[in-house]
Amino acid sequence: MIITFELNGAPASARVMAPVSLLDVLRDQLGLPGSKNVCEQGECGSCSVILDDEVVCSCLVMAGDIEGSTVVTVEGLGEGLNPVQEALHRAGAVQCGFCTPGIVVTATDLFTKRPRPDDDEIKEALAGNICRCTGYGAIVRALRGLAEVER
Amino acid sequence: MKVHHPTTLDEALAAVEAGAVPLAGGTDLMVEVNFGHIRPDHVVGLRRIGELSSWEDRRIGAMVTWRTVETKGPKAYAEAARTVGSPQIRNAGTIGGNLGTASPAGDGHPFLAAVDAGVELVSRRGRRVLAWSDFFTGVKRTARQPEELITAVVLPERLPMRHAFGKVGVRNAMVIATVCAVVTRDEDGATTAAFGSVAPTPIRAPRAEEMISAEPKPTESALAEFQRLVSEEVQPITDHRSTEAYRRHAAGVLARRLLERCLR
Ligand SMILES: Cc1cc2nc3c(=O)[nH]c(=O)nc-3n(C[C@H](O)[C@H](O)[C@H](O)COP(=O)(O)OP(=O)(O)OC[C@H]3O[C@@H](n4cnc5c(N)ncnc54)[C@H](O)[C@@H]3O)c2cc1C
Ligand code: FES
Ligand code: FES
């Protein structure tokens, strides 16, 4: 079946022949490899996207069920670096970088909804994003700095 | 592959009757798909049915997410919601999906058991509300018939004055419970204690409840007896997550701490 939805601000469609995930469709059919495939069981957050205004794991979204929905991936967060990406970059908060797209999506959603999060809110928002390089210190420092600028 | 996207309950029920697998947030179902355990080719997505996402007073629609329960649920239910998975999981995962899976470790179940909530099931033939204890029938087994959808959780008219949820697991975020529990205490001392992960279904501890309900101001020794009875009454097994002995111990300690929280 053909599924139509809004992807990064533009109309998109995908052919769905099996109960595959939105993550697979994004990466394999729609040429958007920014969302990473790591665990496929909702544990790591590397595949985070914004679906109808909420951050979810795209590996757990059935592609056939997103008819009419709005999806924003890391590729759709704007031209160039957004403030979250800028902050992570400046703080050296990227090691191997595999978790980074998921962290960028999750943190961008956090700052959109709460422009001045405190440390607890930052850590809570990122509880579902695992960094295997354990670079949490620099990630939290970067976002704390951004929250302070916003203040 | 056929996926229905109904906007009304009637359309969804017709699809279910024709054999479509219900899909809520997908946080249980898609894990099974990704692991290759199941491969449903006829699915009905429930996300667009307004009636299922509404929360009116005591009736909480099956498609209400853990994120919503976390922000506006009764205290112990909100505390339970806050421990479900991660923000991503709580944004997608629903209370109806938790009941559909009926895992013994489901964090939503102890609250429903502790306050004697009902589960509303609807098919094209009619609507029925089952007591929680009739709904759960075994490990991942429920009284839901194949042509039925879970449409809501129905809370009692009045909730006990105090209630608290607690969960024991190996870490704070993203953890499946070794034991989870809700204890409630009313003005007149009436106490309930319900547990997850210590039996095939969520269970209550009636002897412990009866004993402590008769204590208007529980003493140290009454609390110790409550803890002992809980450890005795739960029916845990040893599995990859924990041992029977540890679960018995943890259930007793957890119940006592939750009761102490209610008494404060
Ligand atoms: C990383 C991760 C962490 C998790 N952590 C926790 C945790 O801490 N605590 C916890 O309790 N759970 C946890 N879960 C499990 C899961 O998130 C919950 O059980 C959630 O409530 C499932 O809801 P869902 O809407 O995603 O269900 P789905 O996956 O959409 O559905 C689950 C099952 O119920 C059926 N179903 C769904 N809705 C209905 C309906 N209305 N009527 C009839 N059948 C229906 C489906 O067919 C399916 O069999 C976790 C899952 C993941 C992936
Ligand atoms: S790949 Fe989706 S959460 Fe890990
Ligand atoms: S930078 Fe390597 S996983 Fe986070």
Domain boundary among A76, A106, A126: A76
Looking at the fold, whether A56 and A115 belong to one and the same domain comes out as: no
Give rounded-to-5 percent helix, strand, coil for chain B.
40, 25, 40
**Nearest residue to B254 via CA among B190, B184, B182:** B182
Amino acid at B90: R
Q: Which of A22, A24, A43, A49 to mutate to test the pocket of ligand 2 (most atoms within 8 A of CB)?
A: A43
* pLDDT score at B173: 75
Torsion of Cα atoms, A70 then B152 then B174 then A124, to 10°: 60
What are the chain A neighbours of B174 within 8 Å (beta carbons)? 43, 127-128
How many whole angstroms separate alpha carbon B160 and alpha carbon A5?
45
Contact status, residue A93 vs residue A135, Cβ threshold 8 Å = yes
Which conformational region is residue A40 in: left (phi greater than 0), alpha (psi within -120 to 50 degrees), or beta?
left
Are both A95 and A141 inside the same structural domain? Answer: yes
DSSP designation for A25: I
Strands (E) across chain A are located at 2-7, 10-15, 48-51, 54-57, 70-72
Q: A8 and A60 share a domain?
A: yes
**For residue A112, what is the domain's CATH number?**
1.10.150.120
Q: Which numbered atom of ligand 2 lies nearest the CA of A58?
A: 2
Contact between A65 and B45 using a beta-carbon 8 Å cutoff: yes
* Residues in B touching A51 (Cβ below 8 Å): 92
Residue A47 CA, ligand 2 centroid: distance in Å: 5
Nearest CA among B156, B157, B175 for reference residue B167 = B175
Tokens 């967060």 found at: A77
* Joined tokens for residue B261: 């929280």
For chain B, domains (ranges, CATH) are 2-101+118-154 (3.30.465.10), 162-263 (3.30.390.50)
Which ligand is closest to the CA of B174, given by its number?
Answer: 1
Using CA coordinates, name the residue in chain B closest to A128.
Answer: B86
In a shared domain, residues A30 and A65:
yes
Any idea what the CATH number is for the domain that residue A14 is in? 3.10.20.30
| Total domains in the fold of chain A | 2
**CB-based contact B95:B64 (threshold 8 Å):** yes
| Shortest CA gap B36–chain A (Å) | 11
**Would you state the pLDDT for residue A100?**
97
Residue finishing a domain among A57, A76, A95: A76
Q: Within chain A, which residues score under 50 in pLDDT?
A: none
Q: Domain residues for A105?
A: 83-148
Strands A70-72 and A54-57: unpaired
pTM beyond 0.95: the answer is yes
Question: Complex ipTM, two decimals?
Answer: 0.97
Q: Among all ligands shown, which has an atom nearest to the Cα of B89? A: 1
Residue A13 sits in the same domain as residue A63: yes
Q: Which residue positions in chain B have pLDDT lower than 50?
A: none
**Distance (Å, whole) CA B27 – CA B141:** 18
Which residues, judged by CB distance below 6 Å to any ligand atom, belong to the binding site of ligand 3?
A 94-99, 131-133, 135
Contact, A111 vs A85, CB < 8 A? Answer: no
All residues of chain A having their beta carbon less than 8 Å from the beta carbon of residue B87 are: 55, 106, 124-125, 127-128
Residues of A in contact with B81 (CB under 8 A): none
Are the C-beta atoms of residues A116 and A134 closer than 8 Å to each other?
no
What pLDDT was estimated at residue A149? 83
CB contact under 8 A, A61 and B26: yes
Where does a domain end: A34, A49, A76?
A: A76
Q: Both A67 and A6 in a single domain?
A: yes
pLDDT at B148: 98
Classified as helix, coil or strand, B167 is strand
- CA distances A88 to A80, A92, A94, A106, A147, Å, are 14, 6, 7, 13, 12
**A63 and A6 within one domain:** yes
- Residue A115: CB atoms within 10 A of its CB come to 13
Q: B49-88 in b/e burial notation, b at 16+ Cβ within 10 A? A: bebbbebeeeebbbbbbbbbbbeebbebbbbbbbbbbbbb
